[in-house]
């Protein structure tokens, strides 16, 4: 995906997410206040994610008893629904099945709060809901490692140990363990001062080796592109950076732009490489 595409993708999802959540909260508020909810509004709820759609529809169950609930209790339930809907938007810097685990506890609390307002819950319906969620956890959110969660079963491959002073015995996969061990040897041998520059999409290097970021960018497709190369070079000179790390296999952003790469190669003539990273420095 190009940088332009990533920015447009981010904007479209942010705008649509805000619109969808405003519709969800309006739907929930009208249901909690005992307003008539039309079929059209219910159809609109189908546009939101599965969790929020279920949450919005469950609000309707409480209508049979809303007249007996005081304003404070109604506000508490609405606040819980609002927080659940808002937290379901937190998927940074990308969307993934693992984010369901973040919002699932809030979803459970919200559903419990709504069901507590129902005078009498049919046991068969309640059993069906329990079976549905258990089946979802067992068969859809398949047990296994997080990389394939929601798709297929995958065993935990993080069996090797990364023994860096900054992180202690950290378990990661064997390929990454060798990669960061080799990178540590090069960086710690040639870096001078408290700053490094790492690009694109490798902010973990700063933390693993105990260096500071001369800028504010973590994932490069979020960065402002206007005069970007000039700004980066000025920042490197201003912070007296003598070593840069270039990621050849970025996860989200594109490759280093040609003009920036050429400028860094000229500015930092010495070179070493690992399987994934190019390291350049000046003496």
Contacting residues for 139 by C-beta, under 8 A, at least 6 apart? none
User: For the chain, what is the domain count?
Assistant: 2
Q: Are residues 175 and 90 in the same domain?
A: no
**Structural domain includes residue 73:** yes
Higher pLDDT, 140 or 48: 140
**Structural domain includes residue 141:** no
Q: What's the pLDDT at 98?
A: 78
- What is the phi/psi pair of residue 167, to 5°? -115, -10
Range of the domain at 219: 160-281
User: Using alpha carbons only, what angle is made at residue 112 by residues 111 and 115, rounded to the nearest 5 degrees?
Assistant: 85
Mean pLDDT is lowest, of 37-51, 118-132, 155-169, 216-230, for 37-51
Q: Which of 168, 198, 200, 161 is nearest to 183 (CA)?
A: 198
Mean pLDDT over 256-260 rounds to 94
Contacting residues for 34 by C-beta, under 8 A, at least 6 apart? 63, 66, 67
**Structural domain includes residue 83:** yes
Mean pLDDT over 48-77 rounds to 58
**C-alpha radius of gyration, the chain, whole number:** 25
Higher pLDDT, 247 or 67: 247
- What is the phi/psi pair of residue 82, to 5°? -65, -45
pTM of the model: 0.63
**Structural domain includes residue 225:** yes
Q: Which residue's structure tokens are 């989200």? A: 252
Q: Which residues on adjacent β-strands are paired with residue 272?
A: 279
**Structural domain includes residue 229:** yes
DSSP 195: B
201 contacts 247 by C-beta, under 8 angstroms: yes
Q: Are residues 175 and 95 in the same domain?
A: no
Range among 9-18, 65-74, 244-253 with highest mean pLDDT value:
244-253
Average pLDDT, the chain: 77
Higher pLDDT, 173 or 26: 173
Rounded Cα distance between 33 and 74, Å, is 8
Question: Domain ends where: 101, 121, 141?
Answer: 121
Range among 43-52, 73-82, 189-198, 247-256 with highest mean pLDDT value:
189-198
**Structural domain includes residue 208:** yes
Q: Are residues 75 and 7 in the same domain?
A: yes
**Structural domain includes residue 38:** yes
Q: Are residues 14 and 97 in the same domain?
A: yes
**Structural domain includes residue 142:** no
């Amino acid at each position: 995906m190009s940088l332009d595409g990533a920015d447009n993708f981010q904007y479209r999802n942010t705008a649509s997410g805000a619109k969808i959540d405003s519709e969800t909260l309006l739907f929930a508020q009208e249901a909690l206040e005992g307003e008539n909810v039309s079929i059209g509004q219910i159809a609109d709820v189908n546009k939101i994610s599965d969790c929020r759609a279920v949450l919005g529809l469950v609000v309707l169950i409480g209508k049979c008893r809303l007249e007996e609930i005081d304003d404070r209790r109604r506000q508490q339930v609405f606040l819980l629904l609002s927080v659940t809907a808002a937290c379901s938007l937190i998927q940074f810097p990308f969307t993934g099945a693992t984010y369901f685990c973040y919002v699932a506890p809030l979803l459970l609390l919200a559903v419990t709060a709504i069901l507590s307002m129902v005078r009498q819950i049919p046991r068969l319906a309640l059993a069906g809901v329990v079976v549905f969620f258990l089946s979802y956890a067992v068969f859809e959110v398949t047990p296994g490692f997080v990389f394939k969660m929601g798709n297929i079963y995958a065993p935990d491959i993080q069996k090797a140990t990364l023994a860096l002073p900054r992180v202690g015995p950290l378990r990661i996969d064997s390929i990454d363990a060798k990669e960061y061990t080799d990178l540590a040897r090069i960086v710690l041998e040639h870096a001078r001062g408290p700053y490094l520059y790492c690009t694109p999409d490798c902010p973990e290097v700063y933390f693993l080796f105990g260096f500071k970021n001369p800028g504010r960018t973590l994932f490069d497709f979020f960065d402002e592109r206007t005069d970007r190369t000039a700004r980066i070079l000025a920042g490197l000179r201003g912070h007296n950076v003598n070593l840069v790390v270039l990621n050849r296999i970025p996860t989200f952003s594109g490759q280093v732009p040609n003009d920036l790469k050429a400028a860094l190669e000229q500015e930092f003539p010495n070179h070493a490489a690992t399987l994934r990273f190019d390291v350049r420095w000046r003496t």
